[in-house]
Amino acid sequence: MNLCSKEWQRYKNKWIIRIFAGKFNPMKCLTVVGARPQFIKAAVVSRTISQYTNIEEVIVHTGQHFDNCMSNIFFQEMSIPIPRYNLGICNLTHGAMTGQMLEEIEDILMKEQPDVVIVYGDTNSTLAGALAAKKLHIKVAHVEAGLRSFNMNMPEEINRILVDRISDWLFCPTNTAVNNLHNEGFDHFPCMVQQCGDVMYDAAMFYAPHAQKPAMEIPEKFILCTIHRAENTDSQENIKSILQGLEEIGAQIPIIIPLHPRTKNILHRLHFNFDQSPIHFIDPVGYFEMIYLLQHCALVVTDSGGVQKEAFFFQKNCVILREETEWVELVQQGYNAIAGTNPQNIVQTIQEFLDRKMDFSMPLYGDAHAGEKIVKTLLQA
């Protein structure tokens, strides 16, 4: 930190005033999480916060991901502080879920009186946390700001655009994200835009040594696949087309799918024959087991935004089961490819990428110090 900077002087004066006024209190931040990717991102920032004595964190878990394999195990494995509040809000429509979260988070904010609310990504929990804070004139920090798929049919796209617009700090993982905000006029808004790197890269590098082999027989060569995005699972045509393509590949090389509970329920309703499928469906895995699978697979196939990046972190190519991606730099550099949901495209793209060898040394997502940059920026406010 530049000790002669105006930012440092402002920060120092703020705390001197508090001390002499007899009102010294650490900055209080309230973190809102609710879904698997947010637990991973929050683990990075929470670990950094714990290293400072002048900042206190209160964690609110909305309950959006409630299954033990999608929630509790992440707090246990990654040593994330136990949430002070667990709202248990899940299995509702978008409107009902967001509305109930907004109401309950507002009550917590009025009780806790934080200086800043930290939200992550693009879920209903993200939107509810940001809206509740902003309406109470509490500052909002959005981690993973500036991402755009340019597909307004995605609820995630709506959430991230709204949250970005009302945030005071926009922590962007890539230059592309910064450029998106610049193109939308954020230079003229009362906010700070910072390219800090990707907190998920921090997490991947920090936790990689803790990878754990799942309690199952792992083939020598296999494809790791995840399917959970609503645009795929809520469309019978899309999910059936995806599975058709995957089963054709699965007859040639093992495919392992840790099955999201929601996706599993949908397949049961569609009377999908799990026993006759060549695909290896397993229960959801914890983060350390997921790291192991990413480290040892031959290829990643997914509709998840986070897993697209995690594939790159662990030097694996990725086939995307969507028509667009927020992580355009991975496609532009040839690491990932968009296959969509057409079964022929899926088969062809997987076959093309299965044995591709590439140099993964390009520093697309920072230096694994994003969490430190975020906390230091907040403390300078």
CA distance 258 to 264: 10
Taking 3-state DSSP, the helix, strand and coil percentages for the chain, each rounded to the nearest 5, stand at 45, 15, 40
| Listed residue (62, 35, 57) closest to 46, CA to CA | 57
**Per the structure block, which two tokens stand in for 160?**
């991230």
CA 70 – CA 90 distance, rounded (Å): 13
- Range list of β-strands (E), the chain: 27-33, 55-61, 85-86, 116-120, 139-143, 169-172, 192-195, 223-226, 255-258, 280-282, 299-302, 318-320, 336-338
Cα–Cα distance measured from residue 376 to residue 381, given in angstroms and rounded to the nearest whole number:
9
Residue 65 designated active-site: no
Q: Nearest-CA neighbor of 279 among 288, 295, 287, 263?
A: 263
| Identity of the amino acid at 231 | E
Report whether 162 contacts 133 (CB < 8 A): no
Catalytic residue (choose from 65, 142, 228, 280):
228
Q: How far apart are alpha carbons 141 and 117 in whole angstroms?
A: 6
Cα–Cα distance measured from residue 189 to residue 9, given in angstroms and rounded to the nearest whole number: 24
* Tokens found for residue 224: 């790791």
**What region, left, alpha or beta, does residue 271 occupy, with left being phi > 0 and alpha being psi -120 to 50 degrees?**
left
| Residues known to be catalytic | 228
